[in-house]
Amino acid sequence: MRRRRGRPLDGWLVIDKPSGVTSTQMVGRAKRIFDAQKVGHGGTLDPLATGLLPLAFGAATKTVPYIMDGTKIYRFTLKLGEARDSDDADGNVTEVSDVRPTDDELRAALPALTGDIMQVPPVFSALKVAGERSYDMAREGRAPELPPRPARVDRFELIERPDADTAIFEVESGKGVYMRALARDVALACGTVGHITALRRLRVGPFTEADAIVLDKIVLNDDNPHASPELLRPVSTALADIPAVALTKDEAVSLLHGQALSLVDLMDRLPQIDNEDAPIRAMEGGRVLGLCRREDGFLRPARIL
């Protein structure tokens, strides 16, 4: 069997993505810089967008779903009075309006776009329609009719109004929420049109801007042709905001062998969680063993690391 090229590195690298490049391109750059065998990302950012893009190396790819399920915070700039086919500044103008809502009118539109909502994704998205990417169809002049999808928006605030044409918002949401669609829908709710001109992701799960590095600032030379693995954070970092249960050595051995543990024996140690289906991080001392779920009176392993 052919050996996979690159080093077998495990861990997370949180980068500050610049505007004008895709998330996939950033994955490729990181793979080359670190000479890594396997790299993936924890949630796509649009080419126009900047901010946090967590990159998973090796075994960290097993924890990507938990990063993508985590809370995300975005800040975006809405340009009012001009709609674009991509719902951002990279698209073509499709409609204009002279209506400029007041701050109060913008704020009044936000409650209807907060909580559990139904959202129509932008046609320039990676969603598949009959096996084709929606953005490919849109570029070919065959923009599909995308049905509304459930989305969860926990916080939606107007934080700045530089001028009548511009409004800046901050959003806290779960996975699968399109900021371009939120910007489009705020404008429509106020009787006008609009699109995003700037978008920045400030948080992804446990990762914040304080954790991010600029990939292009990693210095390489003849003595160090590849980036140091010491720049990577432990695989378990991605699970830091998941409630934990402490296990004994014997319990840990059982769990690692795929055996379920009785919840009765763990009752005094289990975290208080409202959602019975939420994952629980299994710990032995300072070591993360994996993720478990409660089921039929037992704590069952869901993902062992």
Length of the chain: 305
DSSP 8-state secondary structure symbol assigned to residue 264:
H
DSSP 8-state secondary structure symbol assigned to residue 251:
H
Instruction: Give the angle subtended at the CA of 276 by the CAs of 247 and 294, to the nearest 5°.
Output: 40
- In angstroms, how far is CA 211 from the centroid of its own chain? 15
Q: Please report, as a single letter, which amino acid is at residue 22.
A: T
Contact 84, 195 (CB under 8 A): yes
Q: How far apart are CA 136 and CA 143, in angstroms?
A: 8
Secondary structure class of 248 (helix, strand, coil) = coil
- Write the DSSP string, 41-89: ESS---TT-EEEEEEEEGGGGGGHHHHHTS-EEEEEEEEETEEETTSBT
Contact 7, 37 (CB under 8 A): yes
Contact 171, 179 (CB under 8 A): yes
Contact 155, 110 (CB under 8 A): no
Active site residues: 46
Residue corresponding to tokens 């913008």: 106
Q: How far apart are CA 280 and CA 298, in angstroms?
A: 12
User: What does residue 179 show for φ and ψ, rounded to 5 degrees?
Assistant: -65, -35
Instruction: Give the angle subtended at the CA of 301 by the CAs of 284 and 251, to the nearest 5°.
Output: 40
